[in-house]
Structure 1
């Protein structure tokens, strides 16, 4: 029996499917709203530069805060969520995100804006770890892969919305206020639709250390975290610089580059949902990870080296994004299966998200440095190497004793 099937809090199928799926949509919506807070800084960068006089390094710091907090606090957040309950921590994360957004909208300068991003980042961390933990408790086992596939759409969906919404704003303060309104809406939906989840044993440093040691000592969670690190490195290595690539290499205008980037980011949703369908049809999880990693690495060679005309290159970006979406959905759906014990599901998800955030930190920095020194073509080899690493990790996952890896 898998760890998921053994979890006492897992709710099996019953006639109240509509209520349960409404809760799933509310939780997924909370994730989308959280990722919107990531994308708003990237899209509002020109407005922040002109209004506050910020340089690119300062804007990069505003963006990197989220990932750094995720790298440092993923497992710890899982322990807190296991203790106090996923729904309660999800609501707390939304409240922190909303508070940070309000502080940011009222910020008179960079220092306060950076502090607001720290508050938002703490909320983002709680949301992204509590969301999967909440889904684990409210979805029947046979529907879990689909639910996690829906959840994994939160980042590309939020980023795409942020890119498209940017066309409607000429002032970054208005952008912040609208993002805050979205947080309030998500809070209300989760509060009304998501069922309460029980807390666990009392939280202690000793217990947290033991949970961390147990999670890091298991091969499955570590392999998933490494796989997510490589995926995030590949994905953000391209999408952090995609508007610049489209403008510099393909001659698009800023408006065109923003629209094309949004469409390419949204294509990631296809892969996320496709993973849920393929897993439900019996595909091996390791096979999906291996195939997606290999395709992303090869396609990156063609994209970064600009060997094709503009439109075919853009279509390759769409393919890169869509195929890549198979990986996060598969990893998040697999996390409960490889958790050392049911009580450590949230900690396992936290470790996996730490891997995701680590890739978001090192990918853009590494690729950006390589592009500056050696040109766009050299960056393709970094993504290709990450793709090969994904193949190796997928092979290692086959040896983990869990259900159909």
Structure 2
């Protein structure tokens, strides 16, 4: 069991490394805007271009994963992340920078589809739900790590030095990925997940719009509106993202206590969490909070992230069951992970530039209202998916162990 958990944690860390590539550009956005004369919306697009691969190829990659093997996807993805980090560090023009960032998204999608599918395959029934809840933290933890490491690296070296540091870390991740088990391939006909999983993953897409609009623009807000330094803003953003850890611990505890029937626990948890998160989000950029300083803004943003983060792990833990999977090697799991990545990447791709446009049109307070609306929409999607899953459950096989942590 210890060896199994070590493999699960290694896959999670690889996912964290991939997700850390998202905020590295967000932290450097003030410098890049000055160097390449970018608008806030253009800078937001550059941040979110990492998600272009998932937004375009997520479901296709999920369907193809079973035939090519998880480790091959993992190694290829990390190799792409390594090369593009070097190109970004040396980019002579804004066109090269944007192109490298878009290609980097292909590496990202390969990693984030392969890793959770491999976790489902290696985790025994009794710990699969807990393993998936752990995996659900890879983006916020990656954002925290990426923000903190990039900020420290810039302070110690330069923006170019920070980019090259990530290339070195990707090389280490590539070595770790090559040590993973090959994983199985399947010649089975690729199968689409059940409709409930489609609605659930759409809800996760709304969550990524929520999170990315909030956290990816937070460094710019803290430096331009709240008087924070670049390193201070990056540290604050990292701490906000780290609220995913206690949030996931809460979700894991709730799912564990729910036992064999987690549906009721999911509904009872996400309703108050997301409604409260929506209310708090309205005040993140409120003048009264801003007047109290950057620390106050970070605390309110962290609370909104914490409340939304309690609901997010529920999506990952419930996905195999709501996809209609009947075993850990069911191709609907890989397809559902691909769909999750497609919607999640699409949300992350839309989030920062949408946030920039909202700020330009209605100001920073308008962004807080937008985030609140997204939280309520996510709640509606999760409740609809659970209702569809309950209606479509025709046998005990529909309730897989992953949904019974």
TM range, normalised to the smaller chain?
0.7 to 0.9
For structure 1, which segment, 159-168 or 239-248, has the greater mean C-alpha deviation from structure 2 after superposition?
239-248
Q: What's 1:288 paired with?
A: 269
Cα deviation for residue 255 of structure 1 reads 3.5
Q: What's 2:152 paired with?
A: 167
Q: What's 1:379 paired with?
A: 367
User: Which residue of the other structure, out of 365, 372, 396, is the alignment partner of 2:384?
Assistant: 396
Cα deviation for residue 80 of structure 1 reads 1.5
Q: Counterparts in 2 of 1:135-284, with a 5 A limit?
A: 135-165=119-149, 166-169=151-154, 170-192=157-179, 194-201=180-187, 211=191, 214-215=192-193, 218-282=194-258, 284=265
Structure 2: give runs of 5+ residues left out of the alignment: 391-397
Cα deviation for residue 285 of structure 1 reads 2.5
- What is the rounded CA distance, in whole Å, between the counterparts of 1:244 and 1:46 in structure 2? 7
- What is the rounded CA distance, in whole Å, between the counterparts of 2:27 and 2:183 in structure 1? 36
- What is the rounded CA distance, in whole Å, between the counterparts of 1:113 and 1:250 in structure 2? 29
Distance verdict in 2 for CA 1:351–1:53, change over 3 Å? same
CA contact (8 A) 1:99 1:119 kept: no
Distance verdict in 2 for CA 1:346–1:109, change over 3 Å? same
Cα deviation for residue 23 of structure 1 reads 0.8
Alpha-carbon RMSD across the aligned residues, in angstroms, is: 2.4
Cα deviation for residue 47 of structure 1 reads 3.6
Cα deviation for residue 18 of structure 1 reads 1.7
Cα deviation for residue 143 of structure 1 reads 0.8
CA contact (8 A) 1:231 1:327 kept: no
Q: 1:165-186 CA distances to partner (integer Å, 9 max, x unpaired)?
A: 2233242222122111111111
Cα deviation for residue 344 of structure 1 reads 1.5
Cα deviation for residue 247 of structure 1 reads 4.1
Does residue 1:320 correspond to 2:295, yes or no? no
Q: 1:80-102 CA distances to partner (integer Å, 9 max, x unpaired)?
A: 21111222211221122222223
CA contact (8 A) 1:228 1:331 kept: yes
User: Which residue of the other structure, out of 85, 88, 92, is the alignment partner of 2:69?
Assistant: 85
CA contact (8 A) 2:62 2:334 kept: yes
- What is the rounded CA distance, in whole Å, between the counterparts of 1:251 and 1:171 in structure 2? 22
Distance verdict in 2 for CA 1:103–1:378, change over 3 Å? closer
Q: 1:247-285 CA distances to partner (integer Å, 9 max, x unpaired)?
A: 455443444322222211112222123322221121523
Distance verdict in 2 for CA 1:114–1:361, change over 3 Å? closer
Q: 1:188-247 CA distances to partner (integer Å, 9 max, x unpaired)?
A: 22322x322111117xxxx66xx4xx33xx322112112112211222222122223334
Q: What's 1:5 paired with?
A: none
For structure 1, which segment, 164-173 or 230-239, has the greater mean C-alpha deviation from structure 2 after superposition?
164-173
Does residue 1:125 correspond to 2:112, yes or no? no
- What is the rounded CA distance, in whole Å, between the counterparts of 1:371 and 1:45 in structure 2? 16
Cα deviation for residue 139 of structure 1 reads 0.6
- Provide runs of 4+ in structure 1 moved above 4 Å: 49-58
Does residue 1:39 correspond to 2:40, yes or no? no
User: Which residue of the other structure, out of 286, 294, 309, is the alignment partner of 1:305?
Assistant: 286
For structure 1, which segment, 60-69 or 122-131, has the greater mean C-alpha deviation from structure 2 after superposition?
60-69
DSSP 3-state at the match of 2:207: helix
Q: 1:312-332 CA distances to partner (integer Å, 9 max, x unpaired)?
A: 443221211222222332212
CA contact (8 A) 1:23 1:195 kept: no
TM-score, normalised by the number of residues in structure 1:
0.85
CA contact (8 A) 2:200 2:382 kept: no
For structure 1, which segment, 300-309 or 221-230, has the greater mean C-alpha deviation from structure 2 after superposition?
300-309
Does residue 1:344 correspond to 2:352, yes or no? no
Distance verdict in 2 for CA 1:287–1:82, change over 3 Å? farther
For structure 1, which segment, 123-132 or 94-103, has the greater mean C-alpha deviation from structure 2 after superposition?
94-103
Q: 1:120-178 CA distances to partner (integer Å, 9 max, x unpaired)?
A: 21110011111110100011111112211221222122222222222332422221221
Q: What's 1:20 paired with?
A: 4
